[in-house]
Amino acid sequence: MTELIKHSAAALAAKLAAREVSAVELTQAHLDRIAAVDGGERGIHAFLHVNTAEALAVAADVDERRARGEELHELAGVPIAVKDLIVTVGQPTTAGSKILEGWHSPYDATVVKKLRAARMPILGKTNLDEFAMGSSTEHSAYGPTRNPWDLDRIPGGSGGGSAAAVASFEAPLALGTDTGGSIRQPGAVTGTVGVKPTYGGVSRYGAIAMASSLDQIGPVSRTVLDSALLHEVIGGHDPFDSTSLTDPATGLVAAARLGNVKGMKIGVVKELGGEGYQAGVEARFADSLEMLRSAGAEIVEVSCPNFDYALGAYYLIMPSEASSNLAKFDGVRYGLRVLPEDGPMTIERVMGSTRAAGFGDEVKRRIILGTYALSAGYYDAYYGSAQKVRTLIQRDFDAAFAQVDVLISPTAPTTAFKLGEKLDDPLAMYLNDVATIPANMAGVPGLSLPSGLADEDGLPAGIQLLAPVRQDARLYRVGAVLETMLEQSWGGPILAKAPALAELAKTTEAK
């Protein structure tokens, strides 16, 4: 493996600007890495599609423009991977589902348009749980992604592909989506960084909707600064998304470079710890708190009592919205159509056969659950009550942020578990998102960064920072300080401790 691909996106951007390396060389190095570690029996399988020709063409164009002395975006020529829930012209978009196998979107998501405007070569589309429903990528119709730290373990989900791609140096940056933790939890279990911006801070136009009031696109990277750089590329107002905020995405990179927490008040959420949290995860969390204290932050404990109901309310609101959003997969407008084997050939029966064949078990479970929660006689008790709990969670956040500048917790209760371990127990799987869900329920921004390796299994644990709505900059400010101190204590980035991946022969063709 060339050392080039181990650099951060910020460092790669500087090398491109200084013409130490060309965008074509850089893009090719990442394509080579994908060819070497992604395929095969024991490959990472982070990618569902590799976009070789277009990525190299964009890179060549960047090199040409730079040679002409053209003013370019800071990240021009820095390659990126895109979660396959986000639509792209020129590449298939599957959402990890058989129902969209081979489907090509006739339009680009707004975030993809922004990547193209910044001239960032798109390396390909990354694996995910079907329609982003899961915490392990095992619900992908195209097979699971493997965790680069241990190939028999899950890379988190739903954005396990994006996190694993960044963790295994297949891409310096990636896009994810986060409905209940799908950016942050994969970040935690792969030793990478992921950010869920304030709801509406990044356009959702072109992200295939799961739960519209919870979904958010955000950056996936190896460093806090890199996420800030990408966040500024993709953020800002979009008239194509009626829930998009009008605030500009500025000041995030500056906050990451500021690096100062002196005098800041940081609140430890009492409810996000204790029972169910792995000892090694809690130990690394305690280390991080000590570091922030020594950097001049004041650490206090705050209580958010209604967070205890967040998981339950989420599993009513999310399936309700998902059942409605997924009604459009009807075997008529796009994707798969399956005809019933016998009986009358009506559109209703075609719809039933198509959705039976095209959706996997977890998607069916959530559609049925959502249909139940929304049905007459149950609506008030389930969906209505869950929306009230949402108000209580927002009030808890308001009360907490009246006392402190940011909140802090472990990102996920455990390190990466074994592939297959929780596949037959939906409830156990849902518990992985217990600490990340409150942010989606209230729309507040959250960032996960690696806190170290758990003593009992040597696997990465994550720490989560939460800030008030529209105060995403605080996450980068605190995250960057903590990252610097942690890396000093480790003697380098945490991914330097990950085992080397076996590389296939260089001649292996990319998928």
Residue with tokens 């998501």: 109
Q: Is 135 a catalytic residue?
A: no
The span from the CA of 273 to the CA of 435, in Å, is 9
* Residue 312 per-residue DSSP state: H
Q: Which helix (H) or strand (E) is 347 found in, with range?
A: helix 347-358
- Is 200 a binding residue for other proteins by CB under 8 A? The answer is yes
Options 158, 162, 244, 288, the catalytic residue: 158
Which residues, 394 to 423, sit near other proteins by CB under 8 A?
394
CB of 443 to other proteins, least distance (A): 3
Binding status of residue 344 toward other proteins by CB under 8 A: yes
Between 352 and 493, CB nearer to other proteins: 352
Q: How far is the CB of 482 from other proteins (least distance, A)?
A: 26
**Interface pick for other proteins out of 335, 410, 446, 468 (rule CB under 8 A):** 335
**Window contacting other proteins (CB under 8 A); options: 11-19, 44-52, 369-377, 411-419:** 369-377
| Contacts for 328 with CB less than 8 Å, ≥ 6 apart | none
Is residue 182 part of the annotated active site? The answer reads: yes
DSSP string, 120-154: --EEEEE--SGGG--SSSTT-TT-PPPBTTBTTB-
Residue 388 CB, nearest distance to other proteins (Å)? 4
How far apart are alpha carbons 24 and 480 in whole angstroms? 30
Pick out residues in 227-286 that bind other proteins (CB under 8 A): 239-240, 242-243, 245
How many residues at the interface with other proteins, by CB under 8 A? Answer: 74
Q: Is 117 in the site for other proteins (CB under 8 A)?
A: no
CA–CA separation, 219 vs 87, rounded Å? 16
511 touching other proteins, by CB under 8 A: no
**140 classed as catalytic:** no
x/- mask, other proteins, residues 438-477, rule CB under 8 A, reads --xxxxx------------------------x--------
Tell me if 197 contacts other proteins by CB under 8 A: no
Q: Which of 158, 229, 234, 222 is nearest to 440 (CA)?
A: 158
Six token digits for residue 379: 């609506």
Q: Name which position in 2, 250, 391, 488 contacts other proteins (CB under 8 A).
A: 391
Rg of the chain on CA atoms, in Å: 22
Burial 69-93 (b: 16+ CB within 10 A, else e): eeebbbbbbbbbbbbbbbbbeebbb
Look-up of token digits 């959420």: 269
Residue 423: Cβ within 10 Å count:
18
Q: Among residue numbers 57 through 76, which ones bind other proteins (CB under 8 A)?
A: none
The site string for other proteins over 302-321 (x = CB under 8 A, - otherwise) reads: ----x--x--xx-xx-----
H/E stretch holding 480: helix 472-490
Judge whether 4 and 29 are in contact, CB under 8 Å: yes
Stretch that binds other proteins, among 9-17, 218-226, 281-289, 374-382 (CB under 8 A): 374-382
Asked whether position 379 contacts other proteins by CB under 8 A, the answer is no
Single residue of 2, 250, 346, 488 touching other proteins by CB under 8 A: 346
Q: Tell me which residue has tokens 């990044």.
A: 202
367 near other proteins, rule: CB under 8 A: yes
Q: Which residues are catalytic?
A: 83, 158, 182
